[in-house]
Amino acid sequence: MIEDDFYATLKLKTGEEIFCKVAATEEDDRTLLLVSNPIIVSEIKSKNGVVGYKIEPWLKTTTDNMFILNLEDILTMSESTDIEMITMHQSFSKEYDTKTMGGNEKKIDRKMGYISSVNDAKEILEKIFKNS
């Protein structure tokens, strides 16, 4: 049986801290967590003291957005109702899903401009330069 989804910060036994949408499920006498779009949030401070956040996917070499974690691998979990964090996660998830599913990517065609190799472009630019 899968419980209702909720947002949470998870501290893993490896030391990693992730923010994600979580659903808990029981399977073979153990509790598993289904985490979707886990992200790492880093605080960034500028020279003038302005604080911002950098959001990255937890695993950078996969296009998967759902993972299964054993509850035994989690040091602590804190459910989140922080609207700012949830909004950042939702924005990241929507953008990440669009990129990995090929949503808004456009294919290159001649209507966008000239298509050429580097050598061809170099020759054309050199001719333009010499004639000017």
Question: For residue 96, what pLDDT is reported?
Answer: 76
**Residue whose pair of structure tokens reads 């003038």 in the numeric block:** 48
Please name the helix (run of DSSP H) or strand (run of DSSP E) that holds residue 78, with its range, or none: strand 74-79
User: Which tokens hold the place of 14?
Assistant: 């490896």
Average pLDDT over residues 93-103: 69
**Residue whose pair of structure tokens reads 């289904």 in the numeric block:** 34
Q: Do 60 and 54 form a contact (C-beta atoms < 8 A)?
A: no
The answer on pLDDT for 91 being more than 70 is yes
User: Which tokens hold the place of 34?
Assistant: 């289904």
When mean pLDDT is compared across 47-61, 67-81, 118-132, the lowest value belongs to 118-132
CB count within 10 Å of CB 120 equals 11
Question: In the chain, pLDDT over 90 holds for what percent of residues?
Answer: 39
Question: For residue 20, what pLDDT is reported?
Answer: 95
Comparing 118 with 79, the larger pLDDT belongs to: 79
The answer on pLDDT for 1 being more than 70 is no
Question: For residue 51, what pLDDT is reported?
Answer: 83
Amino acid at 129: F
Q: Do 98 and 35 form a contact (C-beta atoms < 8 A)?
A: no
Comparing 55 with 3, the larger pLDDT belongs to: 55
The answer on pLDDT for 86 being more than 80 is yes
- Can you tell me the distance from the alpha carbon of 66 to that of 37, in angstroms, rounded to the nearest whole number? 6
Average pLDDT over residues 24-39: 89
pLDDT digits (tens, 9 = 90+) for 42-70: 888 888 887 888 899 999 888 888 999 99
From the candidate CATH numbers 3.40.350.10, 2.30.30.100, 3.20.20.60, 1.10.287.110, the one assigned to the domain spanning 6-131 = 2.30.30.100
pTM value > 0.85:
no
